[in-house]
Every structure is written in structure tokens, then in C-alpha cells.
Structure 1
Amino acid sequence: MPRLLLIFLALALSAFAQSTSSPRTVIIFGDSITAGGALPQSQKDQLWLTQVQRQFSAALTLVNEGKGGRPTNSLTEFDAMLTRHPHADALAIALGMNDSRDITPQCVPKAVANLRAMIAKARTAYGPSLPVLLIGPSNINKAALGPTKPIANERETKLRELNIAFKNLATETRCQFVTLFGIVPAPSLLKDGVHPDASGNTAIAKVLAPKLKALR
């Protein structure tokens, strides 16, 4: 058989396999920014996760495991999530914003220990080669921070430290890492300094879409 014909057949088979393959299931374990609790009902379809799902509906099934107020020490909730979802092709963890309220020296090492435990639990449940994406927490709008405004500077410092620590943890544990710090425009955080509006969710989606699509 001519070589060019063999190449053509190989490409055709590859394209067919891709077109008939099932979407990859990716669980997103996060807080209220993942849950979308801060968006009004009329803008729920603008949640960053929903935007990414629309973009890659044929390739990805994103499971929204976000919950308002969730810190990294939610290991019991993480165990329950693993039980609810016996199968996953990949996992993304988007936590740290609530941890930043703890401005003591224990904040960062505790958060890192919690994420390390989650990664280990997930790879025990889904396999040792499970792809994991650690999503570093986003920036805040200190002027609009609300009740925690008195510790705005300290909280911003912790968010920077958490991002550095999560990036190092990703390297240590063979995970991928992406930061949202500096991604969310300050005007999109006017509600409470933390939760992005629809435009802020679009900014997050633009950063996370290619990372989630390539997570394997």
C-alpha cells in the first residue's frame, strides 16, 4: 500500500477516534467563586465554569463541586465528594481565598498540608496518574472588601504567599498549576472585594479554559 495512503488512513482513524470519544470528566472542587453563589440568578449562565463548559462541551464534562465559604481544611467534604463521584479523568482544586482570612504564620503551611492530603486521596481513589490542576486564589479589591477590610493588606499578602506555596506543591506532587491572582479586574470585585461579577468570571474563564482542556 502506498505510503501516502497509509498516512491518510492513520489520520482518518485518529480523527474518527477523537470524534467518537466520550467527554473527559473533570471535577472542580472549589469555594463560592466556583459555586457561583455570588452571581444573581439572571447571570448564573456567566459563571466561569459554565462558560468553559459551553466552550468545550464535546470534550469536557465539568462537575461543579463548589461550596460557599469552603477553606482547604474541608477534607471530610472532599472524602464525600470522592464517594459521590466514583469516576473522574482529572481534578482541579480551586481553594485558598477563605484561608487567607487567617493572617497568622500557620495559614500557608496548613493550607499546603490540606491540599497535599487531597491530592493523595484523589490519586488513591482515581489512580496514581490522575491529572490534577491546582488553581491559585485570585486577587481581591481591598477598597471593597467589606467586614474584613481592616486586614485587607495582610489578607492580600497571604493570597500571594498561598499562590507561591501552591505552585511549589504542584511541582512536588506532579500537578499542574495556574494562578488567578492579578487576573480579575478590580471593578468586577465591587460587590464585596472577593466575588467577581459576570465580567470577572469571563476573565477567569479565559485563563482556565485552555488549562482545563489540556489537563491530562
Structure 2
Amino acid sequence: MPRVLLVWFVLSFGVFAQSPEARRVILFGDSITAGGALPQEERAKLWVTQVQAQSAGDLILINEGKGGRPTNSLPEFEQMLARNEKADALVIALGMNDSRDITSQCVPKAVANVRAMIERARAVYGAKLPVLIVGPSNINKSALGPTKPIANEREAKLRELGAAFEKLAAETQCEFVSLFGVVPDASLHKDGVHPDGAGNTAIAKKMGPSLRALR
């Protein structure tokens, strides 16, 4: 097995010493969580993999990311709950795909969907389940490709979604972290949305402290 793939396997599947008190954290996200846009040789740079490695065995991150996922994926969320009998915390990292809807209904619908996920997860894992809501990351409008005609409107929706998710976090006793402005434009040159390896490192640097503090 090539060294890069071996490193990715080790970091992704937790083949390293774990603390007896390691916390299982589920990450329910989209392609930025799944890392589907990263080439195989850069998979070890996925931000989820980096944060888990940097936790020195204190975090077991269950990557439930999926490309193209919007917040209205409640049936998939239920399936995820059924797959994972135990969780010490939950991260909801969605919104990028919702931002394609530039109507006035985009944000209210997304907030209602995330609220439903929080309520359902706490019904399954306990009322005190720690939850981290992640405000969606920024885009590079100049590289947005087919969706470039609505680049300005989509960016505005991403800002609105972040603000609405922060408010929802306060209302539901959840934690909140925003990724808007975290990824440099140069790391989004491929399609304007998906970060390269350096962009994932920037996300890991932002997300790491929030995940380590989630309890």
C-alpha cells in the first residue's frame, strides 16, 4: 500500500492509540465534510482526518458526510441515527447546498430542518447531547462555474444561513462555529466551493478547538 494511502487509512479508520475516555462525535455534513472533492492522494488532508489525528486519540470522529446533501435530508439523518447506537456529541455541518435556493424560503426551511435534527438526535442520544452547529463556509465567486450567475445571491444566502444558525444554536443550547471567511479564495479555485488540501487545513484549524471543547 503506498505510504500516502496508508496514512489516510490509519487516520481515517482510527488505527492508532485511543484514550479510554475518547469521545464519539458524529459529523453529519455535505461534501465538504465527506471530502469527496479531494483527489485520492490528498485524502489524508481532509479536515476531519486532521482534527482526529490532532486530538491524540481523544476524539473518534464518525464521518457521515455526503456530497450534495442539503438540510432537508431528514430521512438520511434518521438512517444515520440507526447506524450509530452511541454518540457523545453531534456536529451538523450543512447549508452550502441550501444556498442554491436564493428565494426567501431558503433560510427558514434550513433552520426548521436543523432544528428537527437537533430534537431527534436528543430524543435518541439524550436530552443533554452536546451539539455543534456549523455555519457554512465562504465561496470563491470568480470560480463558481455553472452557478456563477447567482454567485452574489448565493454568497448572501450563505451569510444569512450562518447568522440564522447562530441564532438557532443560542435558542437550542447548542454550540456554534462559523466557517465563513475561513477558506482562502486560492483554496477554492477548482469550482469555487470545495476546498483543496490547504483549505481543509484552514478548516481543521478552526474546527479543532470547537470539537475538542464539545462536551
User: Is this a same-fold pair by TM over 0.5?
Assistant: yes
Could you say which residue in structure 2 is the equivalent of 1:88?
Answer: 87
Alignment of 1:6-155 (within 5 A): 21-155=20-154
Please tell me the residue identity of whatever aligns with 1:195: H
Please tell me the residue identity of whatever aligns with 2:207: L
Larger Rg: 1
Which stretches in structure 1 are left out of the alignment for 5+ residues? 1-18
Could you say which residue in structure 1 is the equivalent of 2:11?
Answer: none
What's the Cα RMSD here?
0.9
**Structure 1 residues 82-121: Cα deviation after superposition (integer angstroms, max 9, x where no partner):** 0000100000000000000000000000000000000000
**Structure 1 residues 49-106: Cα deviation after superposition (integer angstroms, max 9, x where no partner):** 0000110142110000000000000000000000000100000000000000000000
How far apart are the structure 2 equivalents of 1:209 and 1:40? 23
Identity of aligned residues (%): 70
| Cα deviation, residue 156, structure 1 | 0.2
Aligned residue pairs, count: 198
Runs of 4+ aligned structure 1 residues displaced above 2 Å come to: 19-22
Query: What is the TM-score when the length of structure 1 is the normalising length?
Result: 0.90
| Cα deviation, residue 129, structure 1 | 0.1
Q: Alignment partner of 2:64: what SS?
A: strand
Could you say which residue in structure 2 is the equivalent of 1:163?
Answer: 162
How far apart are the structure 2 equivalents of 1:21 and 1:187? 40
Which stretches in structure 2 are left out of the alignment for 5+ residues? 1-17
**Structure 1 residues 143-201: Cα deviation after superposition (integer angstroms, max 9, x where no partner):** 00011000000000000000000000000000000000000000000000000000000
| Cα deviation, residue 20, structure 1 | 6.0
Relative to structure 1, is the Cα distance of residues 20 and 116 closer, same or farther in structure 2, using a 3 angstrom cutoff?
Answer: closer
Could you say which residue in structure 2 is the equivalent of 1:183?
Answer: 182
**Structure 1 residues 15-72: Cα deviation after superposition (integer angstroms, max 9, x where no partner):** xxxx963310000000000000000000000000000011014211000000000000
Query: What is the TM-score when the length of structure 2 is the normalising length?
Result: 0.91
How far apart are the structure 2 equivalents of 1:57 and 1:45? 16
How far apart are the structure 2 equivalents of 1:142 and 1:20? 42
How far apart are the structure 2 equivalents of 1:200 and 1:185? 7
Whether 1:205 aligns to 2:204 is yes
